[in-house]
Amino acid sequence: MLFSGSYTALLTPFKNSEVDYDAYRKLIDFQITNGTNGLVPVGTTGESPTLSHEEHKKVIEVCIDEANGRVPIIAGAGSNSTSEAIDFVKHGCEVGADGLLVVTPYYNKPTQAGLFAHYTALADASSKPIIIYDIPGRSVIGMTDDTMKKLAQHDLIVGVKDATADLGRPTRLLNIINENFIQLSGEDGTALPYLASGGHGCISVTANIAPKLLSRMHNAWRQGDIKTAQEINKKLMPLHDALFCETSPGPLKYAASLLNICSSETRLPIVEIAPESKHRVEQGLKFAELM
């Protein structure tokens, strides 16, 4: 399958309000060395809403350069403006991304007909496969299964990153689309049961700091070693929960700072997490034996 297993929704490191490209390259190498199956730059975890368009494009270019063909890259290319998203899609294609991740338009609240028109326009402008990013918790509007079925008829709309935590959905989509439609969880806490329902992988926040464990979990699942997959999932569950005790990626960046991956710096309106949240993150890291 084109995209499957453990993909990392990469954070974007900052230093003194600027993108820290040195830390970013080290993070990418850390991911690949520890078995991550693929990388997703400039998604929600990468603080895409507060990156300038120039930064957005450069972060993708640096990711592709550092990965150097070792793993696939699905570049974030979403916007609530179709024309802006088309620009990001064309850029991702031109610089060598293997696929594009496009979020449902936030704030505008398009109808299902609007979603269909938006994604069709992007796919028509693309030369690379597109993954629909369905995350109604952040974008308000969600995509129905019927709309997804219609979009899947386009040759370049190949899958979904599903952050709805609806564990019945993978099976429903298997029934109405087909087994070749890629289904990636966008929710760490339910990623393993998502696989059991017919999913193919996860675009993970936790993988930024636990790439080896999550790679092992997905490999164990593929090999039929359910017990090992369950044990790893159990070990990581307190960390999964802790990383969303406040708005992501605030807790993640604090965890990354404790592991000397990058600073905890975020961009407003994301702020430093509270002391009690820091304690939860620390406990989650300890339970997972990462510190």
17-58: pLDDT as tens digits: 999 999 999 999 999 999 999 999 999 999 999 999 999 999
Distance from C-alpha of 273 to C-alpha of 249, rounded to nearest angstrom: 10
Q: How many other C-beta atoms can be found within 10 angstroms of the C-beta atom of residue 256?
A: 21
Cis amide prior to 105 (ω within 30 degrees): no
Q: Which ranges of the chain have pLDDT less than 50?
A: none
- Give the pLDDT of residue 248: 97
**Residues with active-site annotation:** 133, 161
CB crowding 242-253: b at 16 or more within 10 Å, else e? bbbbbebbbbbb
- Give the pLDDT of residue 158: 98
Distance from C-alpha of 142 to C-alpha of 62, rounded to nearest angstrom: 31
Q: Is 118 helix (H, G, I), strand (E, B) or coil?
A: helix
275: its two tokens: 């002391």
The domain segmentation of the chain, as residue ranges, is 5-223
Distance from C-alpha of 259 to C-alpha of 243, rounded to nearest angstrom: 14
- Please give the backbone phi and psi of residue 45, each rounded to the nearest 5 degrees, phi first: -65, -30
- Residue 34 half-sphere exposure toward CB, CA atoms < 13 A: 20
- Give the pLDDT of residue 49: 95
pTM (global) more than 0.75: yes
CB crowding 182-199: b at 16 or more within 10 Å, else e? bbbbbbbbbbbebbebbb
55-93: pLDDT as tens digits: 999 999 999 999 999 999 999 999 999 999 999 999 999
Q: Is 121 left (phi over 0), alpha (psi -120 to 50) or beta?
A: alpha
Identify the H or E element spanning 48: none
Say if domain 5-223 classifies as CATH 3.20.20.70: yes
Q: What single-letter DSSP state applies at residue 190?
A: G
Amino acid at 265: E
- Give the pLDDT of residue 157: 98
- Give the pLDDT of residue 1: 83
